[in-house]
Amino acid sequence: MPIRLVELDEALIPDAKALVNRVFPHQSFDERISFWVYRRRKSRAMKLLLRLYGSMDIYQYWVALDEGGNICGTTGIYSEKKDVHEAIWLSWFCVAPEMRGKGVGKLMLEFSIDKARALGKKYLRLYTSDDPNEAAAQGLYEKYGFKIISQKKKRGHTLFYREKAL
């Protein structure tokens, strides 16, 4: 099944957001507004707000499209002020439940790792949780060398912070 990755554009945002909301039903305020921010990321005001908040200029999303042009996965990268000199963060990495086990996650993760490497960072970092809905992703992260570097309890789950040396 040919899957293609394309940069997220305005026309694809509603479907990408719907997939993310389906895969991650429990989101923080910051997570809930991320697509709203993405739509405005190039404005001078949003760039300033992102810097003040702690995120930096690197903020991109891509979607995986199936043969019919339907979104079957999302991935993105962003930088954080606290570690911008060494790391890039994986954002909204998810695969539609009905597409899991078909190589979509592998394709997107390899793509994201390549994007992070091209930026010259030392690490690609992410956070995930022990939510059963995220269990399949844990094995994929392990396979690609993402090590747990810390964890904390939040919103009834344990969050795992992982990083991969690039």
pLDDT at position 37, please? 81
> How far is 150 from 44, CA to CA, in rounded Å?
34
Mean pLDDT computed over every residue of the chain: 90
* Per-residue pLDDT tens digits for 16-52: 999 999 998 888 877 888 888 888 888 888 878 877 7
**What single-letter amino acid sits at 10?**
E
* Per-residue pLDDT tens digits for 46-82: 878 877 776 666 679 999 999 999 999 999 999 888 8
Per-residue exposure over 30-39, b if at least 16 CB sit within 10 Å of its own CB, e if not: eeeebbebbe
Domains and CATH numbers, the chain: 4-165 (3.40.630.30)
Q: Are 125 and 162 in contact (CB under 8 A)?
A: yes
* Per-residue pLDDT tens digits for 84-107: 899 999 999 999 999 999 999 999
pLDDT at position 1, please? 58
Residues above pLDDT 70, as percent of the chain = 96
